Structure formats: structure tokens, C-alpha cells
Structure 1
Amino acid sequence: MKSRLLSATLGGILSLTGLFAGAAFAEETDLSPEQAGRVRAEKVEEAIALIPKDFKFNTPGKLTVASVPGRLPFATYATDTKTPVGGEPDLAQLVADSLGLELQLIPVAWADWPLGLTSGRFDAVIHNVTVTEERKEKFDFSSYRNDLLGFYVPLDSKVTSIAKPEDVAGLKVIVSAGTNQEQILVRWVEANKAKGLADTEIQYYDDEAVLDTALLSGRADAYLGPNATSAYKAAHQKNTRLVGTFSGGWPETAEIAVATKKDSGLAEAITAALNAQIKNGNYARTLERWNLTAEAITESRTNPPGLPKQ
């Protein structure tokens, strides 16, 4: 059962609440362009040795990386309104440091990164890009996070675990329309119906503040969305908790990776750089800084299996 619950008046009022909440986030999070708390790394000679001798960086001496400022913990603009900061820029810094290069971040719109990478506008893309078999035909990848979805409930909720389709039977679940997680949830609901289990009411909200109020007021039981953004939000607002995670490619495993130009040879060097930072602990400290620990991997891989073509 699907329900679209929208209220322009309530949404307008609660959007103001969301603005105040956003201000509180800014006070608790370092959004300065200097990023004094950012984890830095030493050169990794093994990784540097893997850079092809004929590889030409966009700017000599620099690793030029595309970033998509929009939402934390991935990336947003710093207080100077031009410098991308967040978990993905921090990861880009580790890679650049490992390769003995200065980091140069290029803010782009999400839809523009494939063409920009192909044309050589930047050397790599580091912004929550999921590895897919279709993308692997055009780009190379170096994995650095698991792609996780998360179920979040209010702190006082009686729901303790959502680990399988049967666990959403009889619940009211919020999800964003047109997303991968919506498709997964719909498949879960259909599977439950085939088993004769109670229906799940799927709710949609166009305004995040209205969504939050619906969840915290009890009009909905759970919210399903990208674990990274929900985990960051839960850590700061402290009014929701995680009750289950699963792969963003369910039932397949999905990984987030650095994207580089196909057959450029840079991916192997970046993979070696990432593995060095995983081994020395800098990687873990970087993820912890942005509440991304739940998505940590134990080893970076070049061109791991991607989500199958649709």
C-alpha cells in the first residue's frame, strides 16, 4: 500500500525547523575551508611506483578530483562557499597525499562527472560512485566503501531489528520515490504479500523536515535511505537509531569506489594508496570523522564485481 502524504502549510513551517536544525549541524561540524582536523598521510612509494610513466595529470603535481557538494557526510561547501568539505574530500586528500600530489577539488554537478572524467577535466571522481558492470565498461574503479542502506527508527521505537523482508510486514515505512531503495522495498512488500503476511504502508515525503516529523511523531515506523546520510544525521540530532543495514544493491553486494578513466592505469596506483591507508589506520580515522565507520572495507580492490546491468 502506497501513501503520499504532503502538506504545503505544514511543510513550510517544518522547513523552518529544518533550517534551524541545519544551523545546529553547522555549529557542531567543522565547515571551515582549512579543515584543521582532516587526516593527512605520508607518501606511499609503492603506490607512486604504479603510476604509469606516460600518465599526464590534468595539472602537473596535482591530483584533480571531481566532488559534488550537496549533503554531508559526503560533501558540502565550506564557509567560504567555494571549497568542498566532507568525507569524500577527506578521502581524496588521503589518496593525493599517498601519491605525493597536491589535492585540487573541482565542484561539479552529479550528472556531469562521467563526461568530465572522459574528457580529462579531472583525474578522478571521488563522490559516492557505486561500481556497476555498465560503468566498468567506461571507467576503472578503486573501491573504498560498502554501499549500504539503513533502516532508522525513533529512539523510543519498539522496532529493534529489520534484517529481512518479513521484518517490514505490518509497518509504515518512509522511502524516497524513484530511488534504488524504493525498488528494493517494493520487492520486499510484494514478497511478503505472496507469503500472506501483513501489508506494508509505503510513505513518501517531498520535504525532509516533514519526513522527520512523520517519523518522530509516530505516523511512520521507520525510514529507509542511504545509511551514510542517516547515520550522520542520527549522530548529530540524536533522536533516531539504526535497526538494520543491507547492501544498496540487495541482494547483490555494492561497493563505492574512486572512478578513473578507463585503461589510464591510474586505478592500480589509487588502489595501492587506499590499501596503505587502510593498513596504517588513516582510513579508519577518516571514516570515523564523518560517521562512516559502518561502511568501512578491509581491502580496496581494482574493478571489483559491480551491480549487474538492468
Structure 2
Amino acid sequence: MTTTRRSLLAFTLAALLPLPALALEETDLSPEQPGRIRAEKVEAAIALLPAGYNWVNPGKLTVASVPGRLPFAVYATDTRTAIGGEPDLAQIVADSLGLELEIVPVAWADWPLGLESGKYDAVIHNVTVTEARKEKFDFSTYRNDLLGFYVAGSSPVTEITERKQIAGLKGAVSSGTNQEEILLRWIEENKAEGLAPTEVSYFDDDVVQDLALESGRIDFYLGPNATSAFKAAKDGRTRLVGVLSGAIR
């Protein structure tokens, strides 16, 4: 671990329950999170840390979290405490290293500069590993990076598993993301083959995006499968029609 490249020990987590089962349980949105899983110190992990490493805040693991969607992270009912799977993971890492956890909620656009400038020790969020990002940051992967194509429950679209199947459709994707890069490249490749164009829309509000799906204004949404699967299991208004690896270039 160096002062210019921030990293954490690699932790791999296996799902204890399928997403639908998790989603259907009552979600605790309290800032106290009494059911949060804790861990004991792991001396073998602590021994791997560089001697004299300067934590952003001595004695603490300072982690940036990007609240937005479950199961990753959202704000608790106090509208300022980050809760969810990623803050839970941050707590386990901090406990394992014998450190107190300090979570810093940030906007998606702010995490790279904050990490580079040393505002926090690590970011635990849905950050896809790319060649460009690897030039600046060290990565430890804690889940399989799957992207999912989701459509309205009543949509006639039954499958999107390859590039040509988006031709002629209208889709939505988040700006500045890896999935946007993949989708736009697919559109250009389809165009080069003379296939029908794909119209892309961007929504800042999930409710507006859901309404667009249900009304047929867009045909599909492409995003992290974990968040979309959690939401689909909760409300049943959308369904999965295909997945692809976020590592696809």
C-alpha cells in the first residue's frame, strides 16, 4: 500500500441467500443498524499491512460510500447515515483490521478525486475494474460484476443476451458508467452493420425511469444486476431478460 495508490486486502464474499429471498425480508433502514454483522480482528491480515502506514484518520478505516440503491447502499431514515451491503462490508473489513470504521457518503462523481487526494483510505462501491482506473487505483473484488438488462413485466421483449438484440429498441443507462460505454459501443457496431439504431435515454430519478419502462417510452434499462434484481424482487414490476459481464470491453 502506497501513498499514491490506495488498496485493501482482497475479500471474497459468497451470497448466503438468493437475492429474492433477501429482498423479501423486511429492510432495516434505521441508522443504528443493530443487526449489522461484526467480525473479530484477524492478526494474519493485520500483519500484511505495511509498517507505519498512515491511515487518513489514525486508528480508523475511512471509507467512501455512494448511497443510491439497495443492496449496495442508501441513506438511513436520518438521511445522512449510509447503510446497506457495502457499509456492512466496510464494517467487517475495519473490524478485521482492528480499526474503527468511518464512512464518508459521497456522490458517484466525487469518489475518484477524493481517493486520489487522500480524503479516505478506500472506496467500497460498485466500481468496475477498467484498464484506465487500474493506472490510478488498486482493486480488490468482493462480488461478481454482472450487468443486467431489465424490461417492464408486460414487455414483449423476452431476451437481450447479445448486441444485435438491442437494434431498434429504446434503452436507458446511467451516464459516465462502464455499462454506458458498453451500450454505446454496441450501438456503433450495430450501426456499422446496418442494423436499426438504438435510442438511449438518461434518467436522474429512478421513479421517472420506472414510469418510462412501464409506459413503453423505453424498452430496457441496463445497469448493475444486483440493484435491479433486488428492486425486481421487491416490487415485481420489472424482469430480467439478460446479463453480461461488466468486464466486457
TM over 0.5: yes
- What is aligned with 1:126? 124
Name whichever of 174-183 and 224-233 sits farther off: 174-183
Equivalence for 1:148:
146
Whole-angstrom CA distance in 2 between matches of 1:206 and 1:105: 24
Instruction: Pick the aligned partner of 1:50 from 40, 48, 51.
Output: 48
Query: Who is 2:14 aligned against?
Result: none
Shift of 1:98: 1.7
Gaps of 5+ in 2: 1-22
Counterpart mapping for 1:37-76 below 5 A: 37-76=35-74
SS at match of 1:66: strand
CA distance in 2, matches of 1:58, 1:51: 15
Q: Which amino acid aligns with 1:33?
A: P
1:287 equivalent in structure 2: none
Give the aligned residue type for 1:69.
P
Question: What is the CA-CA distance between 1:236 and the residue it aligns to?
Answer: 1.8
Greater RCO, CA 8 A, separation 6+: 1
* Whole-angstrom distance in 2 between the partners of 1:190 and 1:121: 38
Q: Contact 2:130/2:247 (CA < 8 Å) preserved in 1? A: no
| Deviation readout 1:278-308 (Å, 9 max, x if unpaired) | xxxxxxxxxxxxxxxxxxxxxxxxxxxxxxx
Instruction: Tell me by how many angstroms 1:119 deviates.
Output: 4.3
What is the DSSP-based 3-state SS (H/G/I as helix, E as strand, rest coil) of the residue aligned with 2:143? strand
Q: Residue in 2 aligned with 1:168?
A: 166
**Distance in structure 1 (CA, Å) of the matches to 2:110 and 2:142:** 22
Shift of the alpha carbon at 1:239? 1.0
Following superposition, the deviation at residue 164 of structure 1 comes to: 0.6
Secondary structure (helix, strand or coil) at the match of 1:97 reads: helix
Give yes or no for contact 2:128–2:178 (8 Å, CA) kept in 1.
no
Match of 1:266 in 2: none
- The match for 1:79 is 77
Superposed counterparts of 1:1-310, under 5 Å: 28-176=26-174, 179-205=177-203, 207-251=205-249
**Secondary structure at 1:92 match in 2:** helix
CA distance in 1, matches of 2:192, 2:115: 45
The answer as to whether partners of 2:172 and 2:220 remain within 8 angstroms in 1 is: yes
Q: Quick one: structure 1 residues 148 and 36, their matched pair in 2 at CA, closer, same or farther if it must change by over 3 Å?
A: same
Distance 1:215 1:68, change over 3 A: closer
Amino acid at match of 1:86: G
User: What is the distance in 2 between the residues matched to 1:193 and 1:52?
Assistant: 51
Mapped partners of 2:199, 2:113: distance in 1: 39
Q: Which runs of 5 or more structure 1 residues have no equivalent in the other structure?
A: 1-24, 252-310
| Corresponding residue SS for 1:72 | coil
Quote the Cα distance in structure 2 between the aligned partners of 1:110 and 1:91: 18
> Judging changes above 3 Å, is the alpha-carbon distance between structure 1 residues 189 and 96 closer, same or farther for their aligned structure 2 residues?
same
Separation in 1, partners of 2:195, 2:175: 24
* Matched residue SS, 2:139: strand
Residue correspondences, number = 226
1:242/1:103 CA distance change after superposition, 3 Å: same
Q: For the Cα contact (< 8 Å) 2:149–2:241, is it kept in 1? A: yes
Residue in structure 2 matched with residue 16 of structure 1 by the alignment:
none
CA distance in 1, matches of 2:79, 2:93: 24
C-alpha distance in structure 2 between counterparts of 1:214 and 1:147, whole Å: 26
Higher gyration radius (CA): 1
**Which has the larger share of helix?**
1
User: What are the Cα deviations for residues 232-269 of structure 1, in whole angstroms up to 9, with x where unaligned?
Assistant: 32122211111112133423xxxxxxxxxxxxxxxxxx
**What displacement does 1:176 show?**
4.2
Alpha-carbon distance between aligned partners in 1 of 2:111 and 2:59, rounded to the nearest angstrom: 22
Could you say if the C-alpha distance between residues 154 and 86 of structure 1 is closer, same or farther in structure 2, counting changes exceeding 3 Å?
Answer: same
Give the TM-score normalised by structure 2.
0.76
Pair 1:83–1:179, CA change in 2 (3 A): closer
Q: Which amino acid counterpart does residue 142 of structure 1 have in structure 2?
A: S
Distance 1:226 1:111, change over 3 A: same
Identity of aligned residues (%): 71
